[in-house]
Amino acid sequence: MFTRLYLKNLKKVKEIIDEADYVLIGAGSGLSAAGGLDYSNKDVFKENYSPFIKKGYKTIWDGLVDNWTVTQENKKSYWAYWANHINNIYYKANYTKPYEDLYELIKDKNYFIVTTNCDGQFYKGNFDEKKIFAPQGSYGYFQCEKPCSEDVYNNEAMIDKMLSSFDEDKLIIGEEDVPICPRCGRLLRPNLRVDDTFVDKPHLANIDDYYEFVESAKNHKIVLLELGVGFNTPGIIRFPFEKMTKYLNETTLVRFNTTEHGVRKGIEDKTILIDHDIKESLEALVKI
């Protein structure tokens, strides 16, 4: 059921976007989860990761936590899980509806995107790649486990190879398909910001454009659309967005969040909270 307050708030958000000179989008895992790429959803796991149920995993997260770091000892089982995961979440996953609707909503605006998501959803649609800052990495690349260079490696062919030797009973891949660094012979690992050995250079290309966007938005009407951002890495989107809301004059923060939806003291009158399902809310916004 849509409450009157919710509908009123949606209308207000639409008006603010229409009037804004700048739209800054901050997207977290909640946006992808709303499109079905939900790491905590048991049905998503059952449908796409069924061989791993016998390991006791119930969600995608369970499998990631159990396979956090690749080593010489676990490499065959580690990659069994990760090859399936990367294939499901990155290569096989369709472009999802929340991203499609978000694009419809802002396509004619002067926009910029900062996201902690690594699933490539923003790159599957029509968003301008030059306007995306995604500093946490990408599921589409590997890097050396102990970086011998700042190179990253497109992993599509390696993922295919690993899946072709995936043994569904033993939950391992063939040793010969374990990805190896072409420069130093160490193991490769996903190019994600999991610790301080993350090779981040390829993902920082747009950082200056991001800062410039914020800088030039300063004395204009700016709306911050924060979508599904929690507290895993709040220093990248959530806290800076709250700070901008506080210190920039003509700013509105729209927080789309169904679970972690507190509003920071001091910016209550500049914040609109949409605590309803993100997918439905974006759908409704496009139709207003």
Tokens standing for residue 99: 């991203």
Nearer to Zn ion (CB atom), residue 186 or residue 220: 186
Which is nearer to Zn ion, 138 or 143 (by Cβ)?
A: 143
Q: Return d(Cα 160, Cα 149) in angstroms, integer.
A: 25
Annotation-wise, does 118 bind a ligand?
Answer: no
**Which residue stretches of the chain are H helix?**
4-19, 29-34, 42-48, 60-66, 75-86, 97-106, 121-124, 156-164, 207-217, 238-247, 278-287
For Zn ion, the closer of residues 107 and 201 by Cβ is: 201
By the 8 A CB rule, do 25 and 106 touch? yes
Beta bridge partners of 143: 189
Least Å distance between CB 183 and Zn ion?
A: 5
Q: Which helix (H) or strand (E) covers residue 223, if one does?
A: strand 222-227
CB of 185 to Zn ion, least distance (A): 7
CB closer to Zn ion out of 157 and 184 = 184
State whether residue 251 is helix, strand or coil.
Answer: strand
Minimum distance from residue 107 beta carbon to Zn ion (Å)? 41
| H-helix or E-strand spanning residue 86 | helix 75-86
Is 181 labelled as part of a ligand binding site?
A: yes
Burial of 258 (0-12, 13-18, 19+ CB in 10 A): middle
Q: How far is the CB of 184 from Zn ion (least distance, A)?
A: 3
Q: Which is nearer to Zn ion, 145 or 177 (CB)?
A: 145
Residue 189 and residue 34: Cα distance in Å, rounded? 28
**What tokens were used for 171?**
């939950």
Instruction: Quote the least distance from Cβ 147 to Zn ion, whole Å.
Output: 7
Q: Does 144 count as an annotated binding residue?
A: yes
Q: Tell me whether residue 53 or residue 184 sits nearer to Zn ion (CB atom).
A: 184
Is the CB of residue 187 less than 8 Å from the CB of residue 214?
Answer: no
Instruction: Provide, rounded to whole angstroms, the least separation between the CB of residue 148 and Zn ion.
Output: 3
* Residue 281 in tokens: 């809310």
- Tokens in use for 263? 């509003």
Residues 230 and 29 sit within 8 Å (Cβ to Cβ): yes
- Provide the binding-site residues for Zn ion, judged by CB under 5 A: 144, 148, 181, 183-184, 186
Instruction: Please state, in angstroms and rounded to a whole number, the distance separating the CA atoms of residues 277 and 1.
Output: 11
Q: What residues form the annotated binding site? A: 144, 148, 181, 184
Q: What residues form the annotated binding site for Zn(2+)? A: 144, 148, 181, 184
